[in-house]
Homo-oligomer: A and B are copies of this chain.
């Protein structure tokens, strides 16, 4: 059996109360007995039970980190940021996977509540209205990453999608492109709308008339396939550059280009979004809008800590950074 404070009390010939105090350096206990008891605890291999402490204090010092899947290339670095800050603050992180499956989502919410987590961070999920409501019912602070939503307990850390798409589009414009395509993703309606907005804003500012043919919203499929389908923007509608919803889509497009002997970036410039690891490894390396994923995780957890300490917090819209690599280039004059 595991050693408890009672065991130590027996061994020391004092009450378990004294042990509890001594171990936490309570000033009322004499230096001598404190030292003695701490030494004894060490010897006996005592480790306090967080379970008992939690029951007593109604705080578990745990948080729930909900992701659609940890295998999504966007997620791991965010998770690392969360876990790091949590660990330093004495919190532990439950990893919960929802798979964007309503049934699983309900299970997750229920589990979070049973576990009595002190707070929740939701990453890269579409938080539907029902799901969000269920989450709020738990009555603990919730931070949404890249998913603004309103509610008493809901807060958010998000990257500025509009700015990102605008920056990317302006980069293409500066390179002389005029027929710029956009490939969206219907599975992410909110971010998609924002990025589309940024794209359109940049075009408008440059007085480029918008061509609906250059906006492509592939039927829901995996992100990579969506990129493959987007080639039609180039083949059928003469796009000389394409802004993709995310890097996976961009890489999907890139691969299709290679299979079809379309030179990137000479014949077609491609730009992604996110800056996942793979973006730097493909060839040509992908120009993309970087989301500060590690920082987003850190900030989210920091926000949780502030909320738990009753500090006031404000939703954050973070800037990202355009990373220019080899997949975009000055348009060729003859085109």
Contact = CB atoms under 8 A, between A and B. Distances in A.
Interface of A: 45, 47-52, 54-55, 60, 62, 65, 69-71, 73, 75-77, 79-80, 83-84, 87, 92-97, 104, 107, 110-111, 113-116, 137, 251, 255, 258, 277-278, 281-283
A277 B73 contact: yes
A251 B278 CA distance: 10
A71 B60 contact: no
Contacts of A255: 281
Contact of A79 (B48, B70, B87, B113): B70
B114 A48 contact: yes
B49 A52 contact: no
A49 B283 contact: no
A97 B83 contact: yes
A269 B69 CA distance: 34
B83 A70 contact: yes
A30 to B, nearest CB: 27
Contacts of A116: 49-51
Nearest to A53: B114
Contacts of A51: 51, 54-55, 60, 115-116
Copies in the complex: 2
Contacts of A115: 50-51, 92
A197 to B, nearest CB: 29
Contacts of A113: 47
5 contacts: A75-B76, A83-B96, A92-B94, A94-B94, A283-B283
A45 B113 CA distance: 11
Nearest to A79: B70
Given A48-B114, A50-B116, A94-B94, 19 more contacts: A45-B137, A49-B114, A50-B114, A51-B60, A51-B116, A69-B80, A70-B76, A70-B83, A71-B77, A71-B79, A71-B80, A79-B95, A87-B96, A87-B97, A92-B115, A95-B95, A251-B281, A281-B281, A282-B282
Contact of A94 (B52, B69, B76, B93): B93
A45 B62 CA distance: 22
Given A47-B110, A47-B114, A70-B79, A95 B93 contact: yes
A54 B54 CA distance: 11
Contact of A55 (B55, B70, B73, B87): B55
A76 B74 CA distance: 11
Contacts of A114: 47-50
B110 A83 contact: no
A278 B224 CA distance: 13
A152 to B, nearest CB: 16
A193 to B, nearest CB: 28
Contacts of A137: 45
Nearest to A116: B51
Nearest to A115: B50
